[in-house]
Amino acid sequence: MSYECGVFHTRYRSDMGLRPKPAQRIRLALFAAAVLVFPFFASPYWLDLANQVAIATVGAIGLNILVGYTGQISLGQGAFMAVGAYAAGLLTLNLGLPWGVSIVLACFITAAVGTFFGLPSLRLKGLYLAIATLAAQEIVQWLMVHWTALTGGTEAIVLPSPRLFGIRLNSAFSFYWIAVLAAAGTALFTANLFRSRAGRAFVAVRDQDIAASVIGVDVFRTKLLAFATSSFFAGLAGALIAFYRSIVTWERFTLEVSIVYLAMIIVGGLGTVRGSLFGAALITLLPALITNAGRALQETAPAVATLLPYAQQGVFGLVIILFLIFEPKGLSKLWGNVKDYFHVWPFAYRRG
């Protein structure tokens, strides 16, 4: 914990609090209030985007646990989300389980699959592990399409809409509450995880794995635990997508998805919970913003509108590169800079 000037703790309780400063608690309360009020004013279009952001936040936090906090690069996020989505879909469709139960089961199934694909991390790290997870992604993708008996192959699985007390839950408005609850739960869990023994072990493995094993961290067990935790949330995100869209197809979980999620945590900030939220929001909203800009330009410059899909691809790449070159710590650090500036404003005298 690094402290800023002007922050004094006189009790251990306040020293170890999750959000020790009053300003932090006020900001959190304001944010929570905004989240609660938002759906009553937003149009269905923005509600849909908000749901996508919330689901992406769950997935991004999951990936950040593995990549940002434990330092194990994974290109298999899409595959893990696929496992979650297919597991949730098939459990509901074939066994007739209620949607809540199958989401929870799907998370555990994905955690098991993730642990299995984490096994190569016993010997591999860095680049080699990244390539191994790339292989995992390709293999799972192939299974989705070709294991017709289980997944239905290229045919999509269509799910019944989830209901609670007779209310259909996959409308944008009602699903909003589920998605936000999931995102908030994931964020709270993760923030607390890294104040615990297991979470500290994750960080130790990231910073220097050999040194971590010298001070008594079981490196392999820790890595597997990180894979399990991370893919648990990837599975949650996948299952949420399955029920929100009522349809599961392999096209939603390709390598592109893994890359998009990696981009989220890079742009947001590796190893931070709030960064996962920022990154998920930016990368999810970016295509929508470009599409809107394109629509606005359609009348004045129709030629520009036809280039739109390629512009999205290009801007996506450009955003990643600009962040890596100019702010490798991501939006989270930018937000921190803003806070620092106002912390002792107008007496600007400190560097965080």
Partner 1 sequence: MADFLQLTVSGLSTGMIYALAAAGFVVIYKASDVINFTQGDLLLLGTYLIFFAVAQIGLPWSLGVLVTILLAVAVALAIERLVLRPLIGEPIISMIMVTIGLSSILRGLVNAIWGPAPRSFESFLPEGSVVLGPAVLSTGRLLSIPIALVVLAALWLFFRHTRDGIAMRAIADDQQAALSMGISIPRVFGVAWGLAAASAAIGGIMLGNIVGVTPNVAAIGLHVFPVVILGGLDSIRGAVVGGALIGLLEAYTGGYVGHGLNLVVPYAVLILVLMVRPYGLFGKEIIERV
Contacts to partner 1 by CB under 8 A: 67, 73, 120, 123-124, 126-128, 130-132, 134-136, 138-139, 142, 145-146, 208, 210-211, 214, 255, 259, 262-263, 266, 270, 307, 309-314, 316-321, 324-325, 328
Using the minimum distance from each CB to partner 1, give the nearer residue, 48 or 209. 209
**Nearest distance from residue 235's CB to partner 1, in Å?**
22
Using the minimum distance from each CB to partner 1, give the nearer residue, 109 or 266. 266
Q: Dig out the tokens for 303 from the structure.
A: 């030629």
244 close to 85: Cβ distance less than 8 angstroms: no
Using the minimum distance from each CB to partner 1, give the nearer residue, 240 or 262. 262
Using the minimum distance from each CB to partner 1, give the nearer residue, 171 or 312. 312
Using the minimum distance from each CB to partner 1, give the nearer residue, 92 or 258. 258
Looking at residue 167, the DSSP 8-state letter turns out to be: E
Q: Dig out the tokens for 206 from the structure.
A: 């990231």
Strands 167-168 vs 163-164: parallel, antiparallel or unpaired: antiparallel
**Nearest distance from residue 320's CB to partner 1, in Å?**
3
Beta bridge partners of 164: 167
Q: Dig out the tokens for 284 from the structure.
A: 């999810």
Specify the amino acid at residue 308: L
**Nearest distance from residue 120's CB to partner 1, in Å?**
6
**Nearest distance from residue 56's CB to partner 1, in Å?**
17
**Nearest distance from residue 293's CB to partner 1, in Å?**
16
Sorted by sequence, the CB contacts under 8 Å of residue 153 that are 6+ apart come out as 145, 146, 147
Using the minimum distance from each CB to partner 1, give the nearer residue, 161 or 312. 312
Biggest distance spanned by C-alpha atoms of the chain: 67
Beta bridge partners of 167: 164
Sorted by sequence, the CB contacts under 8 Å of residue 160 that are 6+ apart come out as 92, 246
**Nearest distance from residue 211's CB to partner 1, in Å?**
6
Angle, CA 277 vertex, CA 273 and CA 283 arms, to 5°: 135
Using the minimum distance from each CB to partner 1, give the nearer residue, 14 or 148. 148
**Nearest distance from residue 289's CB to partner 1, in Å?**
16
The three-class DSSP label of residue 267 is: helix
Sorted by sequence, the CB contacts under 8 Å of residue 130 that are 6+ apart come out as 73, 74, 75
Distance CA 341, CA 352 (A): 10
**Nearest distance from residue 345's CB to partner 1, in Å?**
32
Nearest 5°: phi and psi at 167?
-95, 130
**Nearest distance from residue 142's CB to partner 1, in Å?**
4
Using the minimum distance from each CB to partner 1, give the nearer residue, 105 or 217. 217
Sorted by sequence, the CB contacts under 8 Å of residue 73 that are 6+ apart come out as 67, 126, 127, 129, 130, 133
Using the minimum distance from each CB to partner 1, give the nearer residue, 100 or 328. 328
Nearest to 286 by CA among 262, 307, 267, 306: 267
**Nearest distance from residue 185's CB to partner 1, in Å?**
27
Stated length of the chain: 352
Distance CA 328, CA 322 (A): 9
Using the minimum distance from each CB to partner 1, give the nearer residue, 180 or 280. 280
